[in-house]
Amino acid sequence: MNILHLDLKRSGDNYAEFRFFSNNTNDFKSRQLPLAQIEGLIKQAERDYYTVSPTDYAKTGQALYNWLDGSDRGFEQAIEHNREGIVLAITATERLAHLPWELLHDGQKFLVERRPAIIPVRWKADRGKLTWDYQPKNRALNVLFMASSPIDSDLPELDFEAEEGRILNATKPIPLSLTVEESGYLNELGYLVKRYPQGHFDVFHLTGHATNKNEKPCFITETELGYSKYSSAEDIADALQFKMPKLIFLSGCQTGYSWNKGIVPSMAEALLMEGATAVLSWGKKVSDTDATAAAATLYENLSAGITVTEAVAKTYQELIRNKVQDWHFLRLYVAEILPGALVTPELTEDRQLVPRPSVATEFLDSKGEVRVPKRENFIGRRRQLQNCLRSLKAPSEKIGALIHSMGGLGKSSIASRLCDRLSEHKKIVWWRQIDESSLVNELGASQMCKFIFIRDFGLEQ
């Protein structure tokens, strides 16, 4: 696909120069326009688009198209000989990111419906132009998935397991490798990311609710105990440990929305400022069902070796075909590099298949009698872990947690994960026979170890 840049250069306090160019930054078409005109477009968007009862979307898109085209028809001339598809890179300066570019309409159809499509992206123009990154991995797509649904939130509970399942179902013909972070807790995400080499994950998918707190966009993740944590773009970047995947999908309402009429950057744009390459987001509130449908179509195409922008285009077209009203809220933000295909097509020679899920285990006890899955292989049981942690970590009269069930249902695995989360405590595993003398012996051994440690420490001092 070709890239058509729409850049804006201030010209004094009241005017700006609007430039159209492709590969050569010095070969451009331009026109002068008053900044008050952009202000008028933003007011119109607030009135007709960001509202409970919006104006017909085709009319809004047509008005935006005519404004871009101007009296000299410069925009139409730039796109009329489109044979390979066009990425429309629109600068995020002067609050242009707040306008609904996905709705661009030529009077017959939305531009994203064209064959080949014209795909708008919001471009954080740090450099002169946007460049492609064509370095697909010759293997299956690796996706890191994390869902957040705090227990104390008054927002609708998300069916993130259905989203995960639909992604896997959509990619059955060309499977992807889905690694799930099970806690919704950024610290645990950081632990997981540390275990993998740079570039292992192609996509990080974060699903949940987002909002604006103290004039700052944030994503509502979970604490270790399952309560709400308002996490900023900086918090997410810190958790990813400078191992940002090429694409991050913030699948939460309003993650692509520029607050305060475009003055406050969206969370997607804020994440670009923290080093992300490309961020997919939602510009307004969308239903859980629509977000899940979009994710399924997106990953179906990405796993097939299609470029990011083409996958987004196919997602728009599928949503429109299925009459999903809010399709246009899906927004792609990019920095100076635009990822191409993340992986090669399935039949590429020597392409690595999806690795089999690890069944590696470890032992909970020192005698090697209680086998449990390793930390990275443990899945599910989020609420059970959080319930136990609230009893064991929060100030309380409770002295412990009792985990009980029939045999073989994962009690030891939960206990093992609790020990991981309570690393500041000493682990004592007491298995099978429970009686007074065994208890005294186990506790006595523990106290002796502690006593010897203190004595040794004291002697060293």
What pLDDT, in 10s, does the model give residues 197-219?
Answer: 999 999 999 999 999 988 899 99
Burial degree of 134 (CB within 10 A; 0-12, 13-18, 19+):
exposed
The encoded tokens of residue 411 equal 């009690």
Residue with tokens 């399935």: 346
- For residues 364 and 373, is the Cβ–Cβ distance under 8 A? no
| Residue 450's pLDDT band (cuts 50, 70, 90) | very low
| Residue 373's pLDDT band (cuts 50, 70, 90) | low
The encoded tokens of residue 90 equal 């629109």
Q: Give which of 142, 279, 155 is closest to 209, Cα–Cα.
A: 155
**Residues in contact with 100: Cβ distance below 8 Å, sequence separation at least 6, in sequence order:** 45, 49, 60, 61, 64, 283, 328
| Residue 242's pLDDT band (cuts 50, 70, 90) | confident
Helix (H, G, I), strand (E, B) or coil at 342: coil
Buried b or exposed e, range 177-188, using 16+ CB within 10 angstroms: bbbbbbbbbbeb
Phi/psi for 316 (5° steps) reads -55, -50
Is the pLDDT assigned to residue 59 strictly greater than 70? Answer: yes
pLDDT at site 362: 54
The encoded tokens of residue 412 equal 């030891």
Is the pLDDT assigned to residue 104 strictly greater than 80? Answer: yes
| Residue 449's pLDDT band (cuts 50, 70, 90) | very low
- Range of weakest confidence among 121-125, 142-146, 453-457: 453-457
DSSP H or E segment with residue 251: strand 247-251
- pTM recorded for the entire structure: 0.83
Tell me the residue length of the chain. Answer: 461
Q: What is d(CA 206, CA 148) in angstroms, rounded to the nearest whole number?
A: 8
Q: What is d(CA 236, CA 129) in angstroms, rounded to the nearest whole number?
A: 27
Q: What is d(CA 54, CA 328) in angstroms, rounded to the nearest whole number?
A: 13
Query: How high is the mean pLDDT of the chain?
Result: 84
Residue with tokens 């004592």: 428
Residue with tokens 């069944």: 359
Phi/psi for 240 (5° steps) reads -80, -5
Residue 373, beta-bridge partner list: 361
Is the pLDDT assigned to residue 300 strictly greater than 70? Answer: yes
pLDDT at site 232: 96
Helix (H, G, I), strand (E, B) or coil at 204: strand
Q: What is d(CA 276, CA 262) in angstroms, rounded to the nearest whole number?
A: 20
Bond preceding residue 116 cis, omega within 30 of 0: yes
End-to-end CA distance of the chain: 68
- Amino acid in the structure at residue 161: E
How crowded is residue 192: how many other Cβ atoms within 10 Å of its Cβ? 21
| Residue 50's pLDDT band (cuts 50, 70, 90) | very high
Phi/psi for 417 (5° steps) reads -70, -35
Q: What is d(CA 310, CA 217) in angstroms, rounded to the nearest whole number?
A: 28
Q: What is d(CA 202, CA 398) in angstroms, rounded to the nearest whole number?
A: 44
Is the pLDDT assigned to residue 448 strictly greater than 70? Answer: no
pLDDT at site 453: 32
- For residues 377 and 362, is the Cβ–Cβ distance under 8 A? no
Helices (H), 208-306: 233-239, 259-262, 267-273, 288-302
| Residue 128's pLDDT band (cuts 50, 70, 90) | confident
Q: What is d(CA 91, CA 61) in angstroms, rounded to the nearest whole number?
A: 18
What DSSP state is assigned to residue 35? H
Helices (H), 171-287: 186-194, 233-239, 259-262, 267-273
Residue 105, beta-bridge partner list: 110
pLDDT at site 135: 94
- Range of weakest confidence among 68-77, 114-123, 251-260, 329-338: 68-77
Is the pLDDT assigned to residue 125 strictly greater than 50? Answer: yes
